[in-house]
Amino acid sequence: MPKLRTPQELSEYREGLAARGAAERPCVSVCAGTGCLASGAREVIEAFRAEIEAQGLAAGVEIRGTGCPGFCERGPVVVLQPGGICYLEVTPEDVPEIVTRSLGEGEVVTRLLFEDPATGERVVREGDIPFYRHQHRLLLGQNIRIDSRSLDDYLAIGGYAALPKALVSLSPEEVIEEDKRSNIRGRGGAGFPAGRKWEGARHAPGDTRYVIVNADEGDPGAFMDRALLEGNPFSILEGLTIGGYAVGAREGYIYVRQEYPLAVENVTRAIAKAEEYGLLGEDILGSGFDFTVKVHRGAGAFVCGESSALMTALEGRVGEPRPKYIRSNVKGLWGRPSVLNNVETWANIPLIIDRGADWFAGIGTEKSKGTKIFSLVGKIRNTGLVEVPMGMTLREIIYEIGGGIPNGKRFKAVQTGGPSGGCLPEELLDLPVDFDELTRAGSMMGSGGMIVMDEDTCMVDVARYFIDFLTDESCGKCAPCREGLRQMRRILGRICEGRGEEGDLETLEELAEVVGLASLCGLGQSAPNPFLSTLRYFREEYEAHIREKRCPALSCRALLSYYIDPEKCRGCMICLRKCPSQAIEGGKKQVHVIDQEKCDTCGVCFDVCPPRYGAVRKISGEPVPEPLPPEERMIVKAGGE
């Protein structure tokens, strides 16, 4: 591959790709994102390879392992082009039929299509599946169309159109102006306007500047940055290069957590490819602009997502936040002006430059523009990544896209913003989701985790979970965060274990003030949010734990008892055999009884009791009924059985 030296050469090369019909060739796209790989996508790809070879179609059909299109719940996801037929939950055994019928004869394998649960109708095309239909997939939509290793694929769908436009027809100031007019706000959490950040860096004194991608996606339950980095690393490189040009940086860094090995691999390969094509390196497309990018693996610390800690880690030091009242776009990495934006922000930049600020600003709400990717997870029917315009309501996201709560359970809360965010109750389901609305409701956008909780989720436990997480992840440098969270964890733990006392909530609120106001960095300052928001909307659950020693969600293990309903037990002995504590007495055709002394409330009996009996019950805050006397435990056959 000879380097592309001018914008002219780039567009000729792109036309060459089109002339070779790269886009129209029949293609089998199999999602090779982490979720689908875990469901067996690798085996499916292999099966396609073998079957296509065996049927003598290898020359005419391309097989692509792509990035994540979002519908992880129903993976492995396969999309056939042309036509866009979408098959779900594909196994290697399905592959011969797909190859024979769909690739060979142009038919559709109906049983692998999405079936609308409401109407029972089958949906052929990817975009018509309700999960996708309500989305606006500017970024994620590209994933299934390209092999993340192929820069040609990215070029074929119009990638690297924005970079030459920026380098040739716009000055750095004009790029920043475009960025500012688009009103894009940082997707990493706080929602700071990216254009203003860039402008500050451009005007800061000094010759050396840096642009950095924050891919230290540490929120437990969020994986949109991973999907972008794995699925379409070139778009991030393109955005970063444009950013480098705009602020006057010649070096860029991508800080990726090492827990994402595939992302590290794909982005490292993408950099090499871009260098080979002359889209990174010296004198990019003849513009005189030099730009290189390095990948830096993070070693696993949530706090490193905080900007000053991330930059400290990039310098090879322990990732502790630095006290600073000077912004990092003035004094950041190695003391130089540095622009740090998150993966999703950078991925939006080529779109803004290519299609224009006005187009971008036309999407979303007044103060939050564009789309946002959420990872919709937890107690939700369609788990996955969803990309929607800012301003869509929680209800639309959860019910229309997510398909609602599974197993006939009732919605209780949705947690947004990761450990820095909060839990929003049912009454706020019509809240339009944007940066400011979420903050007003006591949560935040964060990086876009959206964890749905149902009636079985205990909100005190959720608060304890997040405080626990943050206590572990606190770097320990400043006293309020280190010591304050430790005490909050202790008190919340006690409440969950039924040892809560009057006054605990007031103490927690006082601690929340100390931690929130006095902590050094964003981790500590936002750490009380999960507690404060659950207290605000679910105070009665806290009170039930403290006063009645009752967990209303029947979730806190220490406050639970298990009881076998003698009316329902059929004496099948499954629970008796599975109980690890040997706490269940009984025999064939005898009502089983749990010895409450021996029971350690692990819940195995509840899990294994056949649903048609449903004899095991959870009890909290009330005494366990006395067991039947042994002589009355014989189960008399019901009539006819």
Partner 1 sequence: MNDLTMRIDGKEVGAAEGMTVLTAARGAGIEIPTLCHHDSLEPYGGCRLCLVEVTERGWSRHVVACVYPAKDGLEVRTRTERIDRIRKGILELLLARAPNSPILRELGEEYGADPDRFEGEGSFCIHCGLCVRYCAEVKKAHAVGFVDRGVRREIAFIPEIATRVCESCKECFPLCPTSYLQAAWVLVKSLATPA
Partner 2 sequence: MKGTELCAPAADLEEIDRIIDRYRDEKGSLIQVLLTIQAEHHWLPREVLSRVAERLSVPLTRVLHLATFATAFSRIPRGRPEVHVCTGTACHVRGAPRVLSTIEELTGIQPGETDLDLRYSLETVNCLGCCALGPVVEIDGKIHGKVSIAKTEDVLKSCE
Per CB under 8 A, residues contacting partner 2 are 34-35, 37-39, 72-73, 75, 218-223, 226-227, 258-260, 294, 296-302, 313-319, 334, 375, 377-379, 383-384, 415, 418, 449, 451, 453, 457, 462, 465-466, 469, 475, 557, 578, 580, 602-604, 607-608
Shortest Å distance, C-beta 290 to partner 1: 34
Distance CA 235, CA 448 (A): 19
Token output for 392 = 């869509």
User: Which of 384/516 has CB closer to partner 2?
Assistant: 384
Total of residues contacting partner 1 (CB under 8 A): 31
Contact residue for partner 1 among 414, 520, 546, 616 (CB under 8 A): 520
The stretch near partner 1 (CB under 8 A) out of 22-30, 220-228, 449-457, 473-481 is: 473-481
**Which of partner 2, partner 1, none has residue 314 at its interface (CB below 5 to 8 Å by kind)?**
partner 2
Query: Which residues are 411's β-sheet partners?
Result: 454
- Indicate whether 452 belongs to the interface with partner 1 (CB under 8 A): no
486 binds partner 1 (CB under 8 A): yes
Q: CA 273 to CA 563: how far, in whole Å?
A: 62
Is residue 224 within a helix (H) or strand (E), and if so which, with residue range?
A: helix 224-231
Question: What would the two tokens of residue 621 be?
Answer: 């805050």
Contact partner, 435, from partner 2, partner 1, none, Cβ < 5-8 Å per class? none
Q: Is the dihedral of CA 316, 318, 320, 324 positive or negative?
A: negative
Bridge partners (DSSP) of residue 62 are 27
Of 62, 97, 456, 483, the one binding partner 1 by CB under 8 A: 483
Check residue 511 for interaction with partner 1 (CB under 8 A): yes
Residue number with CB closer to partner 2 (115 or 513): 115
Of 97 and 265, the one with the shorter C-beta distance to partner 2 is 265
The strand pairing partners of 607, in sequence order, are: none
Please give the Cα distance from 362 to 158 (Å, whole number): 21
Binding of residue 475 to partner 1 (CB under 8 A): yes
For the bound state, the minimum distance from the C-beta of residue 520 to partner 2, rounded and expressed in Å, comes to 16
Q: Which segments of 233-282 are extended strands (E)?
A: 251-257
Of 79, 246, 301, 452, the one binding partner 1 by CB under 8 A: 301
Q: Given the complex with partner 1, which of 41 and 475 has the nearer CB atom?
A: 475
- The set of residues, in sequence order, having a beta carbon less than 8 Å from that of 219 and lying 6+ positions away, is 418, 419, 446, 447, 449
Q: Does 316 bind partner 1 (CB under 8 A)?
A: no
Residue type, 86: C
Please choose which of partner 1, partner 2, none residue 258 contacts, taking the beta carbon within 5 to 8 angstroms, the exact cut-off set by kind.
partner 2
Q: Which residue has the tokens 């860096």?
A: 201
Q: Which of 67, 422, 480, 586 binds partner 1 (CB under 8 A)?
A: 480
In 404-528, DSSP assigns E strands to: 411-416, 422-425, 449-454
478 scored as a contact of partner 1 (CB under 8 A):
yes
Return the structure tokens found at 528. Answer: 């009380």
What DSSP string describes 43-103?
Answer: HHHHHHHHHHHHTT-TTT-EEEEE---S-GGGPSPEEEETTTEEE-S--GGGHHHIIIIII
Give the integer Cα–Cα distance in Å for 480 and 515. Answer: 5
Does residue number 467 form part of the binding site for partner 1 (CB under 8 A)?
no
Q: Which residues contact 432 (CB under 8 A, 6 or more apart)?
A: 365, 391, 392, 393
Partner interacting with residue 359 (select from partner 1, partner 2, none; CB below 5-8 Å by kind): none
**CB neighbourhood size of 50 (10 A):** 14
List binders of partner 1 among 317-336 (CB under 8 A).
318, 323-326
Q: Report residue 584 as tokens.
A: 């269940």
- 402 and 380 Cβ atoms separated by less than 8 Å: yes
400 contacts 116 by C-beta, under 8 angstroms: no
Round to the nearest angstrom and report the end-to-end CA distance of the chain. Answer: 77
Q: Which does 572 bind (CB under 5 to 8 A by kind): partner 1, partner 2, none?
A: none
Q: Among partner 1, partner 2, none, what binds residue 317 when CB lies within 5 to 8 Å by partner kind?
A: partner 2
Residue pair 425/413 in contact by the 8 Å Cβ criterion? yes
Q: Give the nearer residue to partner 2 in terms of CB position, either 104 or 300.
A: 300
Nearer Cβ to partner 2, position 1 or 318? 318
Which is closer to partner 1, CB of 28 or CB of 475? Answer: 475
Answer whether 204's CB lies under 8 Å from 329's CB. Answer: yes
Q: How far is the CB of 377 from partner 2 (least distance, A)?
A: 4
**Binds partner 1 (CB under 8 A): choice among 34, 329, 348, 474:** 474
Total count of residues recorded for the chain: 641
The binder of 290, among partner 1, partner 2, none, by C-beta within 5 to 8 A per type, is none
In terms of CB distance, is 405 or 508 closer to partner 1? 508
Nearest partner of 557 among 514, 528, 599, 505, judged by Cα? 599
Residue 514 in contact with partner 1, rule: CB under 8 A: yes
- Smaller CB distance to partner 2: residue 182 or 457? 457
Widest Cα–Cα separation across the chain: 93
- The footprint of partner 1 (CB under 8 A) covers 301, 318, 323-326, 471-480, 482-487, 490, 510-511, 513-514, 517-520
